[in-house]
Amino acid sequence: MQDAMVAADLSPLLARAFHTDTATRATAALAEIREQRGGRAARVRAYEVVVPEGADRAWFEASLLRPLVYFCESGRAPLPACPGVFVALFAGDTLHCIDASEVVSFGCALLGVDSEELVRRFGTGEVRHALRRDD
């Protein structure tokens, strides 16, 4: 459990951002991204998270990955693709917009698990059950 308290190096994750902006422009930037990606008709949604200074692996798992998996699963955006979902990470004064699938991929590598394990641990179980054809 000791390694859970080690500071998480989020720079590889932040480098995956498809858009960065100042935090003061966040509302406008997020609206522009939603519109560029198809707007309401495409069910484009942002999951917004503030990254605390000194974020560690335990924070990443409990405060970003766990709720993101639940958000995607409950919003019919199943892992690993998480269609229509991106994460708006506020780190300091910067907004980093990253596709949810990239955050999931980073989380899988960090925790040494696959996306099915993330769903098992943190998901609702509802999407997978609803999408099964053998019932």
Instruction: Report the pLDDT value the prediction gives residue 3, as an integer from 0 to 100.
Output: 42
Q: For residue 23, what are the domain limits?
A: 10-129
Give a yes or no: residue 3 inside a domain: no
Give a yes or no: residue 91 inside a domain: yes
**Number of domains making up the chain:** 1
Instruction: Report the pLDDT value the prediction gives residue 131, as an integer from 0 to 100.
Output: 52
Give a yes or no: residue 5 inside a domain: no
This prediction has a pTM of 0.86
Mean pLDDT, the chain, whole residue set: 90
Choose among 91, 95, 80, 78: nearest CA to 24.
Answer: 95
Give a yes or no: residue 77 inside a domain: yes
Question: Average pLDDT per run of 10 along the chain, which is 135 residues long?
Answer: 57 97 98 93 94 94 98 95 98 98 98 96 71 49
Instruction: Report the pLDDT value the prediction gives residue 7, as an integer from 0 to 100.
Output: 62
Contact (CB, 8 A) for 13 and 98: yes
Give a yes or no: residue 73 inside a domain: yes
Give a yes or no: residue 134 inside a domain: no
Give a yes or no: residue 28 inside a domain: yes
